[in-house]
């Protein structure tokens, strides 16, 4: 139950720990479902990316045979995700949005209830205010009744959603696995044709002497990158920033104002240009 304010004064307010807990659960669960929805939405794209990349490479090197084989691999398995998972998740999140709006409405009702209670207590200390007392008593009773109804509905629904969360996690994972398995089976079927092409490649295949001529050119170009030495320790604040230790040698790929982009110990990222010196 909630505890009504019992003393006159601005600092004395109705305390409702159950409603506070319900709000925290709603926010936490909505965030969880949004993360699950994001994973479900990007899974098809991420699954198709390797095949699409190989196909684009085959197109660029004009290998029509590989292009045809890769085109034959059906992007199947994910049709059900939109209908069976993504759409229901979006509906579920909208329900949490509505519940959160009702919690905010309940909070505003509590504020009005406390305000009428405070005014009522103030009037009761005075004489000749019977009419006003009756007016604010009616207002207070109405807000209290509305608050109790909103509160009861919210807490009951939150408890039901909490139980539901524990039961739907497994089906969500199962649905994703089933869809992904269908796609992998399609890839496996098409890949058997790729394996036939690979058997036609001579064993211990090496570039010819003419083909080897491109290697020094590529190598020479890579040596043209500027190198700098770290003067200070730099700890990244963002995922795309590069960790620097004093004395590290960094290969610079891009200079962009105060932040440069480079590679250090096999990792790439941005670092402040005033933390290094050119060597």
pLDDT in tens, 119-166: 999 998 887 788 889 999 999 999 999 999 999 999 999 998 888 877
Residue 6 has pLDDT above 50, yes or no: no
Say what the pLDDT of residue 217 is.
Answer: 46
224: pLDDT strictly greater than 80: no
| Residues 99 and 164 sit within 8 Å (Cβ to Cβ) | no
Strand partners, 256: 259
User: pLDDT tens digits for 231-279?
Assistant: 999 999 888 899 999 999 999 998 888 999 999 998 999 999 999 999 8
Compute how many other C-beta atoms are within 10 angstroms of the C-beta atom of residue 21: 12
Owner of token pair 């969360």: 165
pLDDT at 85 over 70: yes
String of DSSP letters for 30-78: HHHHHHHHHHHHHHHHHHHHHHHHHHHHHHHTT-HHHHHHHHHS---S-
Higher per-residue pLDDT: 199 or 99: 99
Please tell me the pTM assigned to this model: 0.59
Q: Cα(137)–Cα(119) distance, rounded to whole angstroms?
A: 9
Beta bridge partners of 261: 254, 270
Cα 141–142–146 angle (5° rounding)? Answer: 115
Do residues 22 and 103 touch, judged by C-beta distance below 8 A?
Answer: yes
Phi-psi region of 119 (alpha: psi -120 to 50; beta: other; left: phi over 0): alpha
- The count of C-alpha atoms lying within 13 angstroms of the C-alpha of 233, restricted to the half-sphere facing its C-beta, is 1
Evaluate if residue 105 carries a pLDDT over 90.
Answer: yes
The gap from C-alpha 240 to its chain's centroid, in whole angstroms, comes to: 17
CB atoms within 10 A of CB 186: 17
Q: What mean pLDDT value characterizes the chain?
A: 84
**Closest to 70 in 3D by CA, of 187, 160, 226:** 187
- pLDDT at residue 193 above 60? yes
Q: Which domains does the chain have, with CATH numbers?
A: 17-199 (1.20.1270.60), 217-278 (2.30.30.40)
Share of the chain above pLDDT 70, in %: 87
pLDDT at 238: 85
> Percent of the chain, pLDDT > 90?
46
């Amino acid at each position: 139950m909630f505890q009504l304010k019992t003393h006159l004064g601005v600092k004395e307010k109705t305390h409702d720990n159950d409603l506070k807990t319900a709000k925290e659960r709603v926010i936490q669960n909505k965030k969880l479902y949004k993360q699950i929805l994001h994973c479900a939405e990007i899974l098809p794209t991420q699954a198709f990316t390797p095949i699409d990349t190989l196909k684009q490479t085959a197109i660029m090197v004009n290998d029509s045979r590989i292009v045809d084989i890769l085109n034959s691999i059906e992007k199947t398995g994910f049709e059900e995700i939109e209908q069976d998972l993504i759409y229901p998740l979006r509906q579920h999140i909208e329900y949490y949005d509505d519940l959160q709006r009702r919690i905010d409405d309940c909070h505003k009702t509590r504020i009005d209830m406390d305000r009428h209670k405070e005014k009522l207590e103030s009037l009761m200390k005075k004489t000749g205010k019977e009419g006003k007392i009756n007016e604010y008593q009616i207002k207070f009773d109405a807000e209290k009744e509305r608050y109790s109804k909103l509160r009861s509905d919210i807490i009951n629904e939150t408890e039901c959603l909490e139980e539901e969360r524990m039961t739907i996690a497994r089906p969500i994972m199962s649905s994703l696995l089933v869809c992904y398995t269908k796609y992998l089976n399609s890839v496996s079927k098409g890949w058997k044709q790729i394996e036939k092409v690979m058997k036609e490649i001579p064993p211990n295949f090496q570039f010819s002497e003419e083909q080897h001529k491109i290697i020094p050119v590529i190598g020479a170009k890579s040596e043209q990158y500027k190198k700098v030495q770290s003067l200070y320790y730099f700890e990244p604040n963002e995922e795309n920033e590069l960790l620097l230790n004093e004395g590290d040698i960094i290969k610079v790929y891009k200079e962009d104002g105060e932040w440069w982009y480079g590679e250090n110990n096999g990792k790439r990222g941005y670092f402040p240009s005033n933390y290094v010196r050119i060597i």
